[in-house]
Amino acid sequence: MRKVYLDHSATTPVRPEVLEEMLPYLKEEFGNPSSLYSWGRQAKKAIEEARARVAGLIGAQPEEIVFTSGGTEADNMALIGVAYANQKKGKHIITSSIEHHAVLDTAQYLQRQGFKVTFLPVTPEGLVRVEDVEEAITDETILISIMHVNNEVGTIQPIQEIGKLARERGIIFHTDAVQSVGKIPVNVDELNVDLLSASAHKIYGPKGVGCLYIRKGTRIQPLLHGGGQERKRRAGTENVPGIVGFGKAAELAGQELESEGKRLKALRDKLIDGVLERIDHVQLNGDRERRSPINANFSFKYVEGESILLSLDMKGIAASSGSACTSGSLDPSHVLLAMGIPHEVAHGSVRMTLGRDNTEEDIDYVLEVLPEIIERLRAMSPLYKKAGD
């Protein structure tokens, strides 16, 4: 049976080149980077080389990169760190209603600590309006956090414009760029961001490592206290093999960004066009043009998304119903609901996200199998029968 992995927004396989660079630091180069002898110095050197590679991918300075355990820690550090460090200026934070839960749940935590949070609505295409951001700003606003690319529907937000607005008003601006770094061009100066979160395992690096870009001069408190690692911004012995892998993955992503972006966009469009042409009562979720080159998110009316996923899995195809972090939930996607999609339609949603190993033959296979699955499930659906009456 053909195997087709279409869940690259959840995670990606570690590239062989990345694993090869990591292996020495899992075996003979095991030193603690804080140690003064040669083992430690070698580990420290490897970390700094990786830091420069990651910084290069997003147009930052190496000293502005703080390594974390992943995107979630980076998001927490950005929101909580900025909130506590700047609360004397004000206690108001602006974010959107379609953020990843790493931002949403952290914002809700800060609400319980006495901060005021505005959760902005989005358009039916899943876009934040710049005018809504401007309208929400008050004299108390200290932080704006809007994701770059939505993890579920792939919409690319107007980060550059929002960042310009934040800069004019003297407000710190953070973007969760976990789904954009390594997939579309990302430059911290062009985007006008002060803080940016990224994750290694979304770009064919290892799990358990990410980073927070912190623009020089941005006031932020550390989340973790202890040692003086990461310029006293993130205590704890560094994950040297993970950081080395992140650095190599970032370097490769930068080299292939343009060519791979074009190839994946063509495959994505073939998938979207094929599904919309071959299956009735289906809609594409998210903006068609302002969209990640890897993302296709559909709602199939009159069927359950979970049933579609299990049926696809039986055919060797891996997809998802939304964020991997909420895959165990029976509730419909908060992103789709915020876009105004009805509960019953949102329940029939499937996200397919492409990656470097996907081919045209993979898409052909999906387009061959998926219509049969939807037809079979609808034949058993009382909702579909009722709609036909």
What are 112-132's pLDDT values in tens digits? 999 999 999 999 999 999 999
pLDDT of residue 18: 98
Q: What tens digit of pLDDT does each residue of 344-362 get? A: 999 999 999 999 999 999 9
- Quickly name the fold that domain 16-253 has: Aspartate Aminotransferase; domain 2 (3.40.640)
> Pick the catalytic residue: 325, 337, 367, 383?
325
User: Strands 282-284, 295-300: parallel, antiparallel or unpaired by DSSP?
Assistant: antiparallel
Instruction: Work out the pLDDT band at 381, boundaries 50, 70, 90.
Output: confident
Q: What tens digit of pLDDT does each residue of 28-68 get? A: 999 999 999 999 999 999 999 999 999 999 999 999 999 99
Who's near 323: CB < 8 A, 6+ residues apart? 10, 100, 101, 151, 152, 333
Cα separation, 163 vs 344, in Å, equals: 36
Range from 130-134, 146-150, 224-228, 380-384 carrying the lowest mean pLDDT? 380-384
Long-range residue pairs from 41-45, CB within 8 A, at least 24 positions apart, any chain: 43/238, 43/240
Who's near 165: CB < 8 A, 6+ residues apart? 130, 133, 134, 137
Instruction: Work out the pLDDT band at 329, boundaries 50, 70, 90.
Output: low
Range from 113-122, 302-311, 323-332 carrying the lowest mean pLDDT? 323-332
> Residue range 308-321: average pLDDT?
96
| CATH 3.40.640.10 residue window(s) in the chain | 16-253
Q: How confident is the prediction for the chain on average, in pLDDT?
A: 95
Looking at domain 4-11+257-381, its CATH superfamily turns out to be Aspartate Aminotransferase, domain 1 (3.90.1150.10)
| CATH 3.90.1150.10 residue window(s) in the chain | 4-11+257-381
211 counts as catalytic = no
> Residue range 284-307: average pLDDT?
96
pLDDT of residue 383: 74
